[in-house]
Amino acid sequence: MGEYALLYILFAPFVGALALILVSNRQPLLVRGIAAGSAFVSLIASIYIFYAYDVDKGGFQFVQKFEWSRELGIALHLGVDGIATPLVLASSILLFTGIFVSWHIKDRTKEFYIWLLILAAATIGVFMSLDLFFLYFFYEMSVIPMYLLLGMWGSHTKQYLEMTDPDGLKLRDSVGFILNFGSNSKEYAAMKLVLFLSAFAVAALMGILLIYKYIGLNTFDILVLREHAKLLNIPVLGTTLDKIIWVLIFFGFASIAPLWPLHSWSPVGHAAAPAATSMLHAGVLMKLGHFSIIRVAFEILPDTTREMMPIAAVLCIFSIMYGGFVAFYAKDTKYVIGYSSSSHMGYVFLGMAALNYISLTGAVIYMFAHAMATGMLFAMAGWVYDQTHTRDLPSLGGLSNKMPFISGCFIVGCMASIGMPGTVNFIAEIMIIVGSWNKYPFQVIVAVLGIVLTLAYLFKMMRSVFYGPMSQKYSHAHDAVGVVDRLPLLIMIAVTVGFGLFPMHLYDVVRSGVDPLIARITQVVPVASGDRDTLNVKRDATDHSSGTEQTAASSHLARVTPQASRGLE
């Protein structure tokens, strides 16, 4: 498996989706079996690369490269470092568990699983891509299934359902139900998601094309481009081209993160999406923004990143507090979790902005930890909705008697989201706070207050759903009793608590990717441009020898590890 592990992870969901096309919806068990089987292959291969990744060697490993266009310099170049490896694992875990969370879907089951598999494969493709063209290709591919999953299998909010005429018919004229900002229909949520992500993705594309044109090496290979980023230091409009590119890349990808004030599409999408889609949306789709900024801006423009990241340090304050306060006052379970996710992504930006080994390692671990915690919460919110057909907090209550297993798991999910000791979220949060304190003490104080606010709104939601008097109209509700219903929650709890108690391998993997990256940003060595022939020789050497890149990364790691160790002490 070792040599082709990334191909198994990436293409197993695609193969599953193609196989489902040939199966009839009249065979629901076969449909679910194919979806679960393809997701299982991807999961096993992801676990393999996570534990087979050589933390001492570092760099990009399990590299595969297939030339796609020699004239344009495009290749399907796949590889994972210590930053991408845990995120690939998180995507595979959420895909596999999402298959079982959606086990009882009866409306066009085959089509649902096809788009869910494609969505997960697209996110995995972003994490693996070492070619800017394919990174952007997979990034945009993820938008299509999200639109269909929300628009076809999503649900309307309570406000939308209350838009009725005297005869009880929903007011759904062809324009009004999409553009009515107060209705929040599933169609509106799907359209808003597409418009936001596509518009800002165009900005990111402009940045990518400027990199391609002005470095002038006729390649989209990230490993080649990062060695010659000095060629982008061109005066333009009173500034330099590299800063313009950085702004386009940062804000183009920050919209999906979602960073305030580019966040408003995300909670609406969470509220409308089916449970498995919300899991992937919050668990990995939102991380595409942070990861793409790290992979493109941090790798290719390290000098500019060092100068410009204070922008993220300012905006993350608004993400943390605004998302937290709206979550506290929200009356819809999915809105609470959705705005909570937007708030928590501010912690990742804080860790990225501090630009040191501890904070960035904590930010990457937090991306993984948040994927598990929010996956649990959305899965359970979906279960409660399936049983009660409402997400309205004031009308719920007392469900712990009917759902003891779900309520118990919900407590674990809330504790993980808060960052209780014993969960991997605690390790990530403490690293972000400690690593960011020297550079951004005010932001750290805000982040700590945000944790208190998280405790308040999650406990408020838990009390509203599971405790107090229960309405008799929910007397038919029942707990998750079967293996299919309990398995996804148990997997996510095991991962959260397991890495919380035994975090060292996860820490070592992430640190092996963070160390050389921080070394490039904080100790940037000027790269002489030389003549074009020299650049072409360097490009060819990098193209045909992944070992060279890995050796360079190992050299960086060896140079910076003593300093990093002293920092931790």
Give the pTM: 0.84
pLDDT score, position 540: 44
Best CA proximity match to 564, nearest among 508, 525, 526, 524: 508
At residue 549, the pLDDT reads 41
Torsion of CA 409, 412, 417, 421, to 10 degrees: -170
Nearest CA-CA partner of 458 in 303, 291, 343, 295: 343
How would you class 186 by CB atoms within 10 Å of its CB: exposed for 0-12, middle for 13-18, buried for 19 or more? Answer: buried
pLDDT score of 194: 81
The CA-CA-CA angle for residues 405, 409, 412, to 5°, reads 150
Helix (H, G, I), strand (E, B) or coil at 162: coil
Residue 315, Cβ neighbours under 10 Å: how many?
20
How far is Cα 425 from Cα 502, in angstroms, rounded to an integer? 13
**What is the pLDDT at residue 501?**
92
CA dihedral 533, 539, 545, 546 (to 10 degrees): 160
Residue 201's pLDDT is 87
Regions in the chain scoring below 70 on pLDDT: 1, 154, 156-186, 235, 238, 524-569
